[in-house]
Chains A and B, each alone.
Chain A
Amino acid sequence: MELRKNYFADERKDDLNEIGHSLQRSDVPNHVTGRTAFFADRTFPNLLHLKMVRSPHHHARIRSIDLSEAERHPGVVRILTSKDVPQNLYTILILIQVGPPDEHVLAEGKVRWKGEAVVAVLADSERAANEAAAKVKVDYEVLPAVFDMLEALKPGAPLVNEHHGQNYYRYDSGASRKVRFGDVEKGFAEADFVLEETYHSSPIEQAPTETTGCIVAPEGNDRFTCYTNTQAMFFTLDNASIILQMPGHKLHMVGGTAGGGFGGKVDVTVEPIAILAARLTGRPVSFIYSREEEMQISSPRAAETITIKDGVMKDGRIVARQVTGYTDAGAYSRHSPYGAQKGAAHYPGPYTIPNVWVDTWCVYTNRTPSSAMRGFGVTIADFALEVQMDKLARLIGMDPLEFRFINAYRDGDMKAHRQPTEGAALIECMQEASIAAGWPVAERFMKMSSKRREA
């Protein structure tokens, strides 16, 4: 690796101890010898296997559930329904005030997406659990479903989630997260060109090689150890504590080793029900998603629809930007209200634009609940923004890299969120990128600095 020392030379100290040479990862020796203990590498005598019965419908009322045949299946030990869950209604980010609770651990009255957990079957073997799960009979009244965000926002659309009362998340700022800076209408009126484009993205599955799951062992005295591959240990602990109505000191979460996650393991979908099962049966319980469940059930990156309208001058300056972003939460909030909010903060991009107007919406549909995935809320935003930047450059006949130099933020610039820019390094990154990519830009851009504007 080569360290370029010509940038910020007067600010940098050369006392770097770790950067610039290789370090061995502390966990690799056990990875290569097969000794790393993933949660599923622990076995316990008398282990029970949990299999979830899931909704085959996108939206339906549950008329009745008949467990009689499943209960008689050899090897079945217990079957759990919503009535068994002490606090069945929850939402994962409630302790950081992203409410209201809007999701059931096991479906109650209704299902809102295809794959929603309805009934949990516990059996002596995985095979018996699977066979018995197939014998659970749920009588559904199918309801109209909505899969498109803009359709869901129209009057008369089916209401996805009664806990919200409308098909979007209500922020303290209203129906959307807002950024208001300067006067976009004035900016558009002054602009030489105005370009409005809409960008769409689909849900993306994280697909870790190890599927989501946990194994719970009862420890006596109503204490439980939960071996989990969660990426969110404390959300898991506090949500399990709320759902089970048990103090946290009775729940010992053991984790930190995940066979990939990429955001797909930040929801709390397996631990509370598995701990409850262990508590009600007194036996260790394993709940591990099948590969099919990992692909279909675990929450993907949200679908997004983003409309960006920019006003640009012939000399390259963007003078106004208006963005409306929609994030498809699916049927439940999970992490999506937060993701949509991150988008609002992100849409001005690393550019200094004097007039900015942003609205981002978190919308409910009858799709699989979405949640975190690598940079959720900003990754798709960046895709849309940077495609838009290329289109704007083309529109005014300017080199796309030079166009970005003209608009790059510099230290001291006021950002649309009214935070002055500090520690900017975009110019220098682009200078280096220009050299590395063999994409030359005019000399004046190579002389620019993030520290100051040219006289």
Chain B
Amino acid sequence: MAKVPVQLTLNGTERAEFIDGGLTLLNALRDRFGDTSPKGGCHQGTCGACSVIVDGDLKLSCLTLAETCNGAHVETTAGLAADGIQHPLQRAFLDGFAAQCGFCTPGMIMAAKALLARVPNPSRDDVVEAISGNICRCTGYEPIIQAILSAARSNSQNAA
């Protein structure tokens, strides 16, 4: 099968790979670009574990073809902690027991990050809506909702 070149910026670093046409962004990130932080829980768009941010928009990477991301900026949870300093969302998830098995966590954090970029001071309903495509089987969601709200509060305190 002819390979397709894909060039993208992954968490701030320019990367390029030749991939099989039809490869999902999820599998490209995990198997070709070596970023295993997005998880495959269903490969059919129902669990949200594969959520990443492409050019500012939240995307399910299992339903996104890698070849459509040529030239795109892709952000994943692996790129959040700059210089080892945790992002406020990571801190809030850590302090708030918002991760148990951790499998949904990278996708949840991406969904939360996309929300806070749009709505810096979200209501509880905004948060519930924003993570409605992300399944968590461990926490019962409440600690995750609280962690996202608390990250938003600490962001706005820092901004003030």
Contact yes or no, B36 A34, CB < 8 A: yes
Residues 123-160 of B, flagged 1 when their CB comes within 8 A of A and 0 if not, give 00000000000011110000000000000000000000
Q: A280 on the interface (CB 8 Å rule)?
A: no
A34 — which chain B residues lie within 8 A by C-beta? 35-38, 76-78, 80, 105-106
Q: A453 on the interface (CB 8 Å rule)?
A: no
Q: A260 on the interface (CB 8 Å rule)?
A: yes
A137 — which chain B residues lie within 8 A by C-beta? none
A291-B101 contact given A34-B77, A34-B78, A41-B36, CB 8 Å threshold: no
Contact yes or no, B101 A209, CB < 8 A: yes
Chain B residue with the shortest CB-CB distance to A208 = B137
Q: B83 on the interface (CB 8 Å rule)?
A: no
Interface residues contributed by chain B, number (CB under 8 Å): 39
Q: A28 on the interface (CB 8 Å rule)?
A: yes
Q: Hey, which bits of chain A sit against chain B, CB under 8 A?
A: 22, 24-25, 27-38, 40-41, 43, 206-211, 258-262, 290-291
Contact yes or no, B41 A35, CB < 8 A: no
Q: B104 on the interface (CB 8 Å rule)?
A: yes
Ordered by A's residue number, 5 sampled pairs between the chains whose C-beta atoms are within 8 Å are A34-B105, A38-B103, A40-B40, A210-B41, A260-B101
Contact yes or no, A262 B102, CB < 8 A: no
Identify which of A25, A30, A206, A210 contacts B39 (C-beta below 8 A): A210
Chain B, interface SS category: loop
A208 to B138, CA, bound (A): 8
Contact yes or no, A24 B136, CB < 8 A: no
B46 — which chain A residues lie within 8 A by C-beta? 291
A262 to B103, CA, bound (A): 14
Contact yes or no, B103 A43, CB < 8 A: no
A210-B78 contact given A32-B94, A33-B86, CB 8 Å threshold: no
Contact yes or no, A209 B104, CB < 8 A: yes
A262 — which chain B residues lie within 8 A by C-beta? 137
A206 to B109, CA, bound (A): 24
Q: B60 on the interface (CB 8 Å rule)?
A: no
Contact yes or no, B105 A43, CB < 8 A: no
A31 to B30, CA, bound (A): 16
A27 to B80, CA, bound (A): 18
Q: Hey, which bits of chain B sit against chain A, CB under 8 A?
A: 30-31, 35-44, 46-47, 49, 76-78, 80-81, 86, 89-90, 93-94, 97, 99-106, 109, 135-138
A347 to B94, CA, bound (A): 40
Identify which of B36, B97, B101, B137 contacts A207 (C-beta below 8 A): B137
Q: Could you tell me the distance in whole angstroms from the C-beta of B106 to the nearest C-beta in chain A?
A: 4
A40 to B50, CA, bound (A): 13
A37 to B135, CA, bound (A): 20
Contact yes or no, B49 A209, CB < 8 A: yes
Chain A residue with the shortest CB-CB distance to B38 = A34
Contact yes or no, A24 B94, CB < 8 A: yes
Contact yes or no, A30 B41, CB < 8 A: no
Chain A residue with the shortest CB-CB distance to B99 = A31
Contact yes or no, B37 A209, CB < 8 A: no
Contact yes or no, B43 A259, CB < 8 A: no
A210 — which chain B residues lie within 8 A by C-beta? 39, 41, 49, 101, 103
B137 — which chain A residues lie within 8 A by C-beta? 206-209, 260, 262
B49 — which chain A residues lie within 8 A by C-beta? 209-210
A31 — which chain B residues lie within 8 A by C-beta? 93, 99, 101-102, 105
Contact yes or no, B94 A28, CB < 8 A: yes
Contact yes or no, A211 B94, CB < 8 A: no
Chain A residue with the shortest CB-CB distance to B107 = A209
Contact yes or no, A33 B78, CB < 8 A: yes
A261 to B81, CA, bound (A): 28
Q: Which 3 A-B pairs have the closest CB atoms?
A: A34-B37, A259-B103, A31-B102
A258 — which chain B residues lie within 8 A by C-beta? 101
Identify which of B44, B77, B100, B101 contacts A33 (C-beta below 8 A): B77
A258 to B78, CA, bound (A): 19
Q: Could you tell me the distance in whole angstroms from the C-beta of A278 to the nearest C-beta in chain B?
A: 19
A258 to B41, CA, bound (A): 12
Q: Could you tell me the distance in whole angstroms from the C-beta of A294 to the nearest C-beta in chain B?
A: 9
